Amino acid sequence: MSATGFGAALPRRRIEILPAMTPVIVALVAAPFVGSASTFVTLTAAGLAMGMMIFTMASGLTLVFGMMDVLNFGHGAFIALGAYVATLVFLPLAGWSASDSVALNLAVFLLAIVAAALVCGALGWVFERLIVKPVYGQHLRQILATIGGSIIAEQLMYAFWGPDQIPLSVPKTLEGSFVFGEAAIEKYRVLATLVGLVVFAGEMLILNRTKIGLLIRAGVENREMVEALGYRIDRLFIGVFMAGSALAGLGGAMMALYRGQVHATIGGEFLVLCFIVIIIGGLGSVGGSFVASILVALIANYAGFLAPKLALVSNILAMVVVLLWRPRGLYPVSGR
Amino acid sequence: MTLLSGDPPRGRALQVLVALIVLALMLAPFLFPGAKALNTAAKTCVMILLVASYDVLLGYTGIVSFAHVMFFGVGAYGVGLALYGLSASWGALALGLVCAFILSLALALAIGLFSLRVQSIFFAMVTLAVAYAFNVLASQLSDLTGGEDGRSFKIPEILQPGFKWLDHPILGVQANGKLLAYYLVFVVAAAAFLVLLRVVNSPFGRVLQAIRENPFRAEALGYRIVFHRTLATCISALGATLAGALSALWLRYVGPDTALSFSIQVDVLVMVVVGGMGSLYGAIVGAALFVVAESYLQDLMGALANVAADARLPMLPGLFDPHRWLLWLGLAFVLAVYFAPLGIVGALKPAEGKGRPAG
């Protein structure tokens, strides 16, 4: 808790710059080692796109944890579900996806990610009511219940979509790369970065400029006080949980397109990454998870290029280093 | 009583159940002939040790770790790689085991000291990340570990199926190395289980339970929480390492699927919760039930799926597909978390015994 004096106008909360600059610092340090400028641009662009997709998945998780102290191990199931829902849109609309029209291509892409978000949001409500609600405030049982929920969800997905990988390719005009000089940047990565930025901007606007956002931020800082002021925090929380699930689905759909295939194991894989990101970012902080997503993705990309073996554990190393520097993450949330 | 550290199973039903399982495992080669049955029995023994060591952490100390299978893998790979790289001798086996113990201890200490100072929820996330990285590392460093294919290796001669130590069969069972190997697994698992039982019933174990129930109060009474939690992590890691070594020795193979995969971790969680957290006998019941379900629930579900398919019911054939058996265990798991936090052991306890809330 920061000490603020009474009487005088509240000072604007200072936002520390240094943690936000860490991705830039990493990029600057990595640049001389990478050598060629075109490779560096390609790597950095790929890292940004990956970071945006990870952020889309992780921001919901961090808000849910920040507000209600719920660590949702079922989050990965929504990531996988979003990916599967995308196939439901893409496979029937294969004609749109294969056409040369940019408008139709973009339409099918937007339709797929919106459908993924909506379905995951709706099922997020079911998940919250059935799995999470009975065990609020009990960490151990919460972890167990959400893991059980994710086992069931994963098995149901296998039952509906089968155990095999489903191929999924990006629409025709989104394939290929923009080429600047010698640097090639995949078009889809640019699109993913844009979607991620829109999500981030939207979240920041809602959190900082609306009443709902004010209540959510207040809830993260001090849940009981918000309740004492007469707001139904449980309803607020269902909303945040659904939004978090929807974002997970959106991120999952984008990642599945990026990968070119869908399988339920995508959930567990990115859940781990999401945890690393929200720990680095500071549990409960959306801005922190934004910075951390980019940081983690950039480090993974540079390490993958410079020392492939090291890349496997680069996430963990990044987490350890950040926590040694700032034990509660880049942007710690007070009261936590 | 001294053998059980003064903590026998409570309640007649549980006593009978545990006695039946232990007897069945003790006499498995003679009761259930055939290689598959013996494999199932050996797997049960290994799982009981693995689950019991996990329960020390989850049920007794109230810490959720996702790195338990990592320690299992360290044990399996330690023994496996030593036998593969050096020679099929007892010396190599011992060396591999000692190295595995040291590595496990170092990892457990590092993870514990790094993350147990803060909330236990943090520990859950950190262990998940570390275990995941370890898994990837093991499958990528293929020069050392054999990658996805793993390593097959020879074990000391007297444990090999070809080794005959008596010319005539005992009670109709070949007196070969396989029988010796089974009893090695059984005896070591049983001894380790009794040691764990001793640990949780020692004053140290009582402090762990106090920490689980109320960390602040335990700290106020003068117990160093970080020390106790870290030590519990180490003990549990050593148990898992030993279980991994036994598993590798029995399978004569070590690979990511049998030693490190995250699905084993999920299985272990299901076994602990369904069997009963906070009682080591829950490990026996849970592991036995799980292994039996894995083998026989699938047959039942296959039959149900056929019935449903014949009746042309929508969806049901998919849900009863034998590969979806984990779905039903997952349901049982969630229901157990809600309605029977102490699992089967808690349900079988006599009414006057005080229930311990978990969580």
Map out the domains of chain B as residue ranges.
12-348
Query: Has residue A199 been placed in a domain?
Result: yes
Instruction: Indicate if the pLDDT at residue A5 is higher than 50.
Output: no
For residue B269 the two structure tokens come to 């969680």
H or E segment and range at residue A184: strand A183-186
Of residues A139, A144, A158, nearest to B120 (C-beta): A139
CA distance A250 to A255: 9
List helix spans (H) across chain A.
18-34, 37-68, 75-90, 94-98, 102-127, 139-161, 187-209, 211-221, 223-228, 233-259, 265-281, 286-306, 308-325
Q: Which domain holds residue A243?
A: 37-151+158-213+224-276
Q: Out of A15-29, A84-98, A120-134, B107-121, give the one with best mean pLDDT.
A: A120-134
Task: Please check whether residue B283 is in contact with residue B51, taking contact to mean a CB–CB distance below 8 angstroms.
Answer: yes
All residues of chain B having their beta carbon less than 8 Å from the beta carbon of residue A140 are 58, 62, 64, 120, 358-359
All residues of chain B having their beta carbon less than 8 Å from the beta carbon of residue A151 are 266, 270, 326-327, 329-330, 333
What was the pLDDT predicted at A314?
86
What was the pLDDT predicted at B359?
41
pLDDT above 90 covers a percentage of chain B that reads 36
Of residues B124, B330, B333, nearest to A143 (C-beta): B124
- In the block, tokens 């008596």 appear at B166
Long-range contacts of B84-88 (CB under 8 A, 24+ apart): B84/B151, B84/B152, B84/B153, B88/B153, B88/B154, B88/B155, B88/B156, B88/B157
Instruction: Indicate if the pLDDT at residue A124 is higher than 90.
Output: yes
For residue B212 the two structure tokens come to 């689980």
All residues of chain B having their beta carbon less than 8 Å from the beta carbon of residue A141 are 337, 341, 358-359
pLDDT above 70 covers a percentage of chain A that reads 95
Q: List b or e across A155-191, with b for residues whose CB sees 16 or more CB atoms inside 10 angstroms.
A: bbbbbebeeeebebebbbbbeeeeeeeebebbebbbb
Average pLDDT value for residue range B63-88: 90
CA distance B335 to B355: 18
What was the pLDDT predicted at B98?
95
The number of distinct structural domains making up chain A is 1
Confidence of residue B217 (pLDDT cuts 50, 70, 90): very high
Instruction: Indicate if the pLDDT at residue B1 is higher than 70.
Output: no
Give the pLDDT confidence of A229-258 residue by residue, as tens digits.
Answer: 998 888 888 999 999 999 999 999 999 998
What was the pLDDT predicted at B353?
46
CB atoms A159 and B324 under 8 Å? yes
pLDDT above 90 covers a percentage of chain A that reads 33
Give the pLDDT confidence of A196-219 residue by residue, as tens digits.
Answer: 999 999 999 998 899 988 888 888
The Cα-based distances of A42 to A106, A183, A318 in angstroms read: 23, 6, 22
What was the pLDDT predicted at A4?
45
Give the pLDDT confidence of B278-306 residue by residue, as tens digits.
Answer: 889 999 999 998 888 887 777 787 788 77
Residue A195 identity (one-letter amino acid): V
Query: Has residue A51 been placed in a domain?
Result: yes
CB atoms A316 and B133 under 8 Å? yes
Q: What is the DSSP string of B126-190?
A: HHHHHHHHHHHHHHH-HHHH-GGG-EE----GGGSTT-BS-SS-BTTB--BHHHHHHHHHHHHHH
Of residues B137, B334, B358, nearest to A140 (C-beta): B358
Q: Of A31-35, A126-130, B54-58, B264-268, give the lowest mean pLDDT range.
A: A31-35
CA distance A219 to A199: 21
* φ, ψ dihedrals at A323, nearest 5°: -70, -30
Give the pLDDT confidence of A258-304 residue by residue, as tens digits.
Answer: 888 898 888 888 998 999 999 899 888 889 999 999 999 999 999 88
Task: Please check whether residue B138 is in contact with residue B73, taking contact to mean a CB–CB distance below 8 angstroms.
Answer: yes
Give the pLDDT confidence of A297-330 residue by residue, as tens digits.
Answer: 999 999 888 888 777 788 888 888 888 888 788 8
Query: Has residue A285 been placed in a domain?
Result: no
Task: Please check whether residue B208 is in contact with residue B37, taking contact to mean a CB–CB distance below 8 angstroms.
Answer: no
For residue A67 the two structure tokens come to 């507000």
Query: Has residue A14 been placed in a domain?
Result: no
How far apart are the CA of A109 and the nearest CA of chain B, in angstroms?
Answer: 29
For residue B193 the two structure tokens come to 């289980």
Residue A149: closest C-alpha in chain B: B334
What DSSP state is assigned to residue A183? Answer: E
Number of neighbouring beta carbons within 10 Å of residue A208 = 12
Q: Of A176-180, B85-89, B116-120, B313-317, give the lowest mean pLDDT range.
A: B116-120
What DSSP state is assigned to residue B7? Answer: -
CA distance B36 to A28: 59
Give the pLDDT confidence of B249-282 residue by residue, as tens digits.
Answer: 999 899 888 888 888 888 898 899 888 888 899 9
Pick left, alpha or beta for residue B236 (phi over 0 → left; psi -120 to 50 → alpha; otherwise beta). alpha
What is the rounded end-to-end Cα distance, in angstroms, of chain B?
Answer: 30
Task: Please check whether residue A34 is in contact with residue A299, taking contact to mean a CB–CB distance below 8 angstroms.
Answer: no
Residue B333: closest C-alpha in chain A: A148
What was the pLDDT predicted at A2?
45
ipTM of the complex: 0.80
Task: Please check whether residue B130 is in contact with residue B271, taking contact to mean a CB–CB distance below 8 angstroms.
Answer: no
Q: Beta partners for B122?
A: none
Query: Has residue A299 been placed in a domain?
Result: no
* φ, ψ dihedrals at B116, nearest 5°: -85, -5
Q: Beta partners for A166?
A: A262
What was the pLDDT predicted at B226?
87
Average pLDDT value for residue range A122-138: 88
Strands (E), chain B: 151-152, 253-254
Coil, strand or helix: which one is A167? strand
Of residues A71, A138, A159, nearest to B124 (C-beta): A71
List helix spans (H) across A35-93.
37-68, 75-90
Give the pLDDT confidence of A49-72 residue by residue, as tens digits.
Answer: 999 999 999 988 988 887 777 888
Average pLDDT over all residues of chain A: 86
Residue B262: closest C-alpha in chain A: A268
Query: Has residue A69 been placed in a domain?
Result: yes
Closest by CA to A18, choosing from A302, A295, A311, is A295
Angle separating helix axes B325-339 and B262-275, nearest 10 degrees: 40
Query: Has residue A287 been placed in a domain?
Result: no
In sequence order, the 6+-apart residues with CB closer than 8 A to the CB of B351 are none
Instruction: Indicate if the pLDDT at residue A12 is higher than 70.
Output: no
Confidence of residue A1 (pLDDT cuts 50, 70, 90): very low
CA distance B301 to A18: 57
Give the pLDDT confidence of B44-57 residue by residue, as tens digits.
Answer: 999 999 999 999 99
Closest by CA to A272, choosing from A75, A133, A119, A93, is A75
Dihedral, CA of residue B266, residue B268, residue B271 and residue B275, to nearest 10: -130
CA distance B265 to A81: 22
All residues of chain B having their beta carbon less than 8 Å from the beta carbon of residue A327 are 118
SS3 percent helix, strand, coil of chain B, rounded to 5, is 75, 0, 25
H or E segment and range at residue A166: strand A166-167
Which CATH number does the domain B12-348 belong to among 1.10.287, 3.30.460, 2.160.20, 1.10.3470? 1.10.3470
All residues of chain A having their beta carbon less than 8 Å from the beta carbon of residue B69 are none
Instruction: Indicate if the pLDDT at residue B315 is higher than 70.
Output: no
For residue B61 the two structure tokens come to 């100390």
Coil, strand or helix: which one is A180? strand
Exposed, middle or buried, A132 (CB in 10 Å: 0-12/13-18/19+)? buried
CA distance A108 to A89: 7
Instruction: Indicate if the pLDDT at residue A11 is higher than 80.
Output: no
Instruction: Indicate if the pLDDT at residue B108 is higher than 90.
Output: yes
Give the residue with greater pLDDT, B194 vs B37: B194
In sequence order, the 6+-apart residues with CB closer than 8 A to the CB of B167 are none
Average pLDDT value for residue range A29-48: 87
Give the pLDDT confidence of B329-346 residue by residue, as tens digits.
Answer: 888 888 888 888 888 888
All residues of chain A having their beta carbon less than 8 Å from the beta carbon of residue B120 are 139-140
